[in-house]
Chains A and B, each alone.
Chain A
């Protein structure tokens, strides 16, 4: 063993140990408990696959999957469209460019819980006042109290916060495009839209992929913003999968059952991310 490879081991092994003890071991413990009737305390027995079978018969769990996917896909699309737009504006030659970039990054620095509670106040108090004075019916009561509209409030707040991070990634991507490409296209008389669809978008393909994967994965795990905004309500209309796992597992005393839910959900998220990566990467331009 040469001197340099030894050094690599010294650097890698502690990190690996930390990762295994803090991440892999808990995951495996969780998987083990998913085959038991463990309540989170007291005695427990192995129950085989019973938890998994019950999961597919539990309409509350199935509804939460439906809500989470609807929420995650809508928010991912909104975030990426707006973030790309903002990134292009911030990348253009404008006055106070750095100041604007800093400004647009602020939502990412704030904690989502804090944002959630602030927006909760806006949705419950400020917007209804506005709606009442303008005579708009659906806005004169809190949209968070409306089971058909509450999810849109959550989409709005989540998007408001995560656009900041996606914008930064897109900005980084836009700066990797050589200016000569635009010069050449301009000389050939390509329109602005043509330049976007043939140069800008293909050249930041890798950034688009990573943004889509990160955004969707993040929104599928939505929890904090829902706690701060609706607490899963009204009724159970905005319960995300993570929320059902937390409530049933830690508050409801069905630790084993919700561990099974977690395992299934882990597999679902991994599968979704892999599919996304494969389909999107095929469309990226090589250069």
Chain B
């Protein structure tokens, strides 16, 4: 029963040989340059494949090989350990990107003409995560996301709720939905990371000015530090806990995909997730009713901001032998036409000056803030990735133990600071 039939084995062998042959047939010609393109975003593989075809047609002699893997942050590290840096990369502009940039594995792009047209506020957010030598530009933003509250305008209209502009209005809206038997939020606590959109938005508006810069400067002795999570994150923890206290029953066992489907089908009035969830929600139900507004964290609407991060950062391997071709490809990816097309298809925000503003009705509530420069970076991009922030946050929203939550954050922060004293000065 476990033996493969002879005939089937032969057929399999033939198929394998055929597969090997076809991949050999596409070997590059001699004077052709092949760019190794590391592309981190699995949901954009098709998009980039189309762009690459366009680029190759316009630039004969350059071939681009798209390489997309699951868990890109780990994969890029393993490539770098083996000294196989790709020629061109897209990476999420997160803390991990910052650490890699600090380690000087990416080329300096500050002299690139296209660098001039990037929105300065966005370039600052990316640079703040980390850069080589403290002055280079190691990544150029191609697309930004924005994190806010997604809501279902039909449900809002049905119960006469208008878009909340202050924290009190938000809680009042939530109570209205609850009183009418409508789930205010659909929480997906099984996937730990889905707790972080709320966390980063609260942090952006509630943490003291320069909190992380001062925390970085505080060294590794927790007792001496003038700033700490326990001291400065009290209000944030209370509000986070409050939001998650409205989770639907059984939220702890629900994952992101289920949540997208549920929100798409109108099972909750609001959904605490960013612009990046919009394509996934539409994939679950093309008729989904989606609109958005920024988190009203305080009772002063003037203080409201949207949290935005560089969803796709373009970088170049520092030692690439094909610098001119790589530059050409990056210029192409940052051209107005490409950025417009990409941001439209991927529900992203364009971080370059000449691009068209985001027209998607689902994102209009956030677009105004983004275009006005009322943006803050992701708080978690300032935390060393060795701190399991999303897991710690997931634990907190499940058990509501505030002092343990803040204590754990402090403990992890100062532990990492103690064992990596040279982190800043490479």
Contact = CB atoms under 8 A, between A and B. Distances in A.
A107 interface: no
Contact of B419 (A45, A50, A141, A145): A50
Interface residues of A, number: 40
B65 interface: no
A127 B394 CA distance: 22
B51 interface: no
B47 to A, nearest CB: 26
Contact of A42 (B105, B395, B420): B105
Contacts of A252: 384-387
A254 B77 contact: no
Interface centre among A41, A45, A57 (most CB of B within 10 A): A41
Nearest to A249: B386
Contacts of B81: 40-41
B252 A41 contact: no
Interface stretch (A155-163, A198-206, A233-241): A233-241
Given A41-B80, A235-B398, A257 B419 contact: yes
A42 B77 CA distance: 10
B380 interface: no
A124 B190 contact: yes
Interface string B274-299: 00000000000000000000000000
Given A54-B418, A146-B252, A254-B420, A40 B77 contact: yes
B384 A141 contact: no
Contacts of A140: 250
A233 B192 contact: yes
B415 interface: yes
A257 B421 CA distance: 13
Interface string B87-106: 00000000010011011110
A231 interface: yes
A247 B96 CA distance: 12
B252 A42 contact: no
A250 interface: yes
**Interface residues of B: mostly helix, strand, loop or mixed?**
helix
Nearest to B420: A37
Contacts of B253: 124, 128, 141-142, 144-145
B415 A54 contact: yes
Interface string A24-52: 00000000000001011111010000110
B134 interface: no
A39 B99 contact: yes
Contacts of B99: 39, 253
A231 B416 CA distance: 22
A54 B77 contact: no
Interface in A126-155: 128, 140-142, 144-147
A234 B418 contact: no
27 contacts: A40-B80, A40-B81, A43-B426, A45-B422, A50-B419, A54-B419, A124-B255, A140-B250, A142-B190, A142-B253, A144-B190, A144-B253, A147-B395, A233-B394, A235-B192, A235-B394, A235-B395, A235-B398, A250-B74, A250-B78, A251-B73, A251-B74, A251-B77, A251-B386, A252-B385, A253-B99, A254-B420
Given A235-B394, A236-B391, 11 more contacts: A39-B103, A42-B426, A141-B253, A233-B395, A234-B192, A234-B391, A251-B74, A252-B385, A253-B99, A254-B419, A257-B420
